[in-house]
């Protein structure tokens, strides 16, 4: 990678070009407007991960960001349900889910009477024939909720930074989101941009007709090359370095790791034949998923001429493999360690490419994660923690909810749906029986906390009326509460306890709590003259979008009430 600023002259030539002062050169008070905002989001990148294995990382990836950026060492999501869409939407909008509306990967839609996948929209189908409802096979049951292959950002209730950039530039800014996950791409591209994601059923990057009537030629050509099949068919995920050099080099076969054949749970992990069952899913369970995302993003930048004119463009790249690896193997595993070493090289490759095509001196980089992640309970047991998985299917619900029957004359039938962290009550039945909803919620909440592993259960009516307060966890639950989408009772498990059963598939670890290991993420701003610094005060991820808005001098997203990070504004 070439030096961050190749020359002072190169920086000074980037004037505002205003009618008042065509020849004015940037000053410390008027830095050059960037050609590109590059927002990098890593799925399940806990805040300690960028430095955990830094001793074996190169110069151009995590190390470059840490040395050349404003690094916030104590950044947290402030909402309770730390899931993929919730964190991505928060980073994009600067709003809490109570405002942007993405309260979970799924929620119960009372109008339709069914669970809803966050960005599903049957009005806008995927353009690729045969992509179908892209069920993430076995490792992402939330996608199975989707009834159609339609996708759009319509359910996001706040504008995003990228939306505001589009409005600010009268549609002149090129805006794109790329990810393996549909929700990782759609949320960041916003309503005004264009999104591409990897369809496992089609084995290629796809989009919906919300964005295009038909694909650009370059997308058709890229997909026609059958790039994933040609590059990875019959190959394996191998360790990057000698196994003896790894911190977790002796942990290649832990009893709690998930086995999916032929991928397996020990190195080398086999992808199988390109036409084999599960082939494209196995790619996403490894560094290959991030490598595919990078290669598609590169093709997009080149073919769409991103960052090549005087209007600031926006590119979001969301890397997903860290999340899948964390679920299957856990945070402290050989797979997680090796994946991060691969990711470091992938990020270095991306930054080097952007430096070559746009110039890092012309690019503002915003780096973060949608959520952190837990350690595996069985691993913590070895360190003296008495923790375990939560098994709601083993709860003695009839006995446990006996208080409901005694008080209301009806028991479990009052419960309509449980989609963690929300329990939804049968409001029609409650009304039919002439019961008070708030009272039923309170009794259900009181009973739930008696079950093993449950730390807290909160009535939605109490949240809406402001009747609960006083703790950081309650505050996080409030930030997650949207009256039309949230359930009737919010359930919080004890620290390090979580459900690990995904429709019969036992995974090693699952995020989604308000505890610090799940809320803790890196936040780094770099590029375009931003002066390096390390900041240790606590900040919230709602600060990312309004800070980008301040840098570009657009108005903040409609639901954003986050702070502007003043250290980032110190640009030369």
Residue 323 in 3-state DSSP? Answer: helix
Does residue 412 carry a pLDDT above 50? Answer: yes
pLDDT digits (tens, 9 = 90+) for 508-543: 999 999 999 999 999 999 999 999 999 999 999 999
* CB-CB neighbours of 397 under 10 Å: 15
Q: pLDDT-based confidence at 228, cuts 50/70/90?
A: confident
Rounded to whole angstroms, how far apart are CA atoms 448 and 442? 10
pLDDT digits (tens, 9 = 90+) for 420-472: 999 999 999 999 999 999 999 999 999 999 999 999 999 999 999 988 887 99
Does residue 503 carry a pLDDT above 90? Answer: no
User: Taking Cα atoms as reference points, which of 42, 19, 38 lies closest to residue 371?
Assistant: 42
Instruction: Identify the structural domains of the chain with CATH numbers, from first to last.
Output: 8-379+515-569 (3.40.720.10), 392-451+454-493 (3.30.1360.150)
Rounded to whole angstroms, how far apart are CA atoms 223 and 460? 46
H helix runs in 383-521, sequence order: 397-400, 402-408, 427-432, 437-448, 460-464, 472-479, 516-519
pLDDT of residue 8: 31
Contact partners, residue 163, CB within 8 Å, separation at least 6: 190, 191, 192, 193, 557
Q: What is the mean pLDDT of residues 252-269?
A: 95
pLDDT digits (tens, 9 = 90+) for 56-78: 999 999 999 999 999 999 999 99
Q: Directed axis angle between helix 182-189 and helix 84-93, to 10°?
A: 20
pLDDT of residue 492: 98
Q: pLDDT-based confidence at 20, cuts 50/70/90?
A: very low
- Structure tokens belonging to residue 17: 């070009």
Distance of CA 127 to the CA centre of its chain: 24
Query: ω into residue 268 within 30 of 0, thus cis?
Result: yes
pLDDT digits (tens, 9 = 90+) for 173-209: 999 999 999 999 999 999 999 999 999 999 999 999 9
Residue 278 region by backbone torsions, left for phi larger than 0, else alpha for psi between -120 and 50, else beta: left
Residue of higher predicted confidence among 41 and 140 = 41
**Number of H helices and number of E strands within the chain?**
22, 20
User: Taking Cα atoms as reference points, which of 536, 501, 541, 490 lies closest to residue 518?
Assistant: 541
């Amino acid at each position: 990678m070439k030096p961050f600023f190749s020359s002072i002259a190169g920086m000074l030539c980037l004037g505002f070009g205003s009618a008042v002062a065509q020849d004015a050169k940037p000053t410390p008070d008027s830095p050059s407007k960037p050609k590109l905002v590059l927002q990098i989001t890593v799925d399940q990148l806990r805040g300690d991960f960028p430095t955990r294995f830094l001793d074996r990382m190169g110069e151009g990836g995590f190390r470059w960001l840490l040395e050349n950026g404003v690094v916030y060492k104590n950044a947290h999501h402030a909402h309770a349900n730390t899931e993929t869409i919730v964190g991505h939407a928060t980073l994009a909008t600067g709003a809490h889910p109570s405002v942007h509306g993405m309260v979970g990967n799924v929620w119960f839609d009372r109008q339709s009477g069914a669970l809803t996948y966050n960005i599903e929209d049957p009005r806008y189908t995927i353009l690729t024939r045969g992509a179908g409802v892209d069920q993430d096979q076995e490792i992402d049951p939330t996608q199975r909720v989707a009834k159609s292959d339609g996708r759009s950002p319509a359910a996001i209730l706040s504008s995003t930074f990228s939306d505001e950039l589009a409005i600010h530039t009268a549609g002149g800014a090129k805006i794109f989101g790329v990810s393996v996950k549909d929700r990782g791409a759609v949320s960041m591209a916003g309503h005004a941009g264009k999104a591409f994601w990897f369809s496992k059923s089609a084995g290629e990057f796809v989009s919906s007709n919300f964005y295009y009537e038909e694909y650009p030629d370059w997308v058709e050509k890229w997909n026609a090359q059958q790039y994933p099949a040609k590059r990875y068919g019959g190959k394996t995920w191998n360790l990057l370095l000698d196994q003896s050099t790894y911190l977790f080099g002796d942990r290649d076969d832990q009893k709690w790791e998930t086995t999916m054949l032929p991928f397996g749970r020990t190195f080398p992990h086999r992808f199988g034949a390109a036409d084999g069952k599960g082939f494209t899913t196995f790619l996403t369970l490894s560094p290959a998923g991030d490598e595919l995302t990078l290669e598609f993003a590169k093709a997009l930048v080149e073919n769409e001429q991103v960052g090549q004119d005087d209007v600031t463009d926006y590119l979001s790249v969301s890397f997903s493999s860290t999340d899948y690896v964390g679920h299957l193997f856990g945070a402290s595993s050989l797979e997680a360690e090796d994946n991060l070493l691969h990711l470091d090289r992938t990020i270095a490759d991306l930054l080097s490419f952007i430096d070559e095509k746009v110039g890092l001196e012309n690019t503002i980089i915003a780096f973060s994660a949608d959520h952190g992640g837990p350690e595996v309970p069985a691993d913590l047991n070895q360190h003296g923690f008495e923790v375990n998985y939560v098994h709601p299917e083993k709860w003695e619900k009839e006995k446990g909810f006996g208080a409901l029957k005694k008080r209301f004359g009806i028991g479990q039938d009052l419960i309509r749906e449980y989609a963690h962290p929300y329990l939804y009550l049968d409001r029609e039945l409650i009304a039919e029986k002439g019961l008070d909803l708030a009272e039923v919620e309170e009794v259900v909440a009181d009973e739930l906390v008696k079950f093993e592993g449950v730390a807290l259960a909160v009535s939605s009516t109490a949240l809406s009326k402001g009747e609960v307060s006083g703790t950081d966890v309650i505050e996080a639950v409030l930030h997650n509460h949207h009256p039309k989408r949230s359930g009737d009772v919010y359930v919080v498990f004890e620290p390090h306890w979580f459900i690990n059963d995904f429709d019969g598939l036992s995974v090693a670890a699952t995020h989604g709590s308000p505890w610090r290991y799940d809320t803790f993420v890196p936040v780094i701003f770099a590029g375009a003259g931003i002066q390096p610094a390390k900041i240790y005060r606590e900040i919230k991820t709602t600060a990312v979008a309004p800070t980008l808005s301040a840098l570009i001098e657009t108005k903040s997203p409609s639901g954003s009430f986050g702070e502007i990070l003043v250290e980032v504004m110190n640009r030369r």
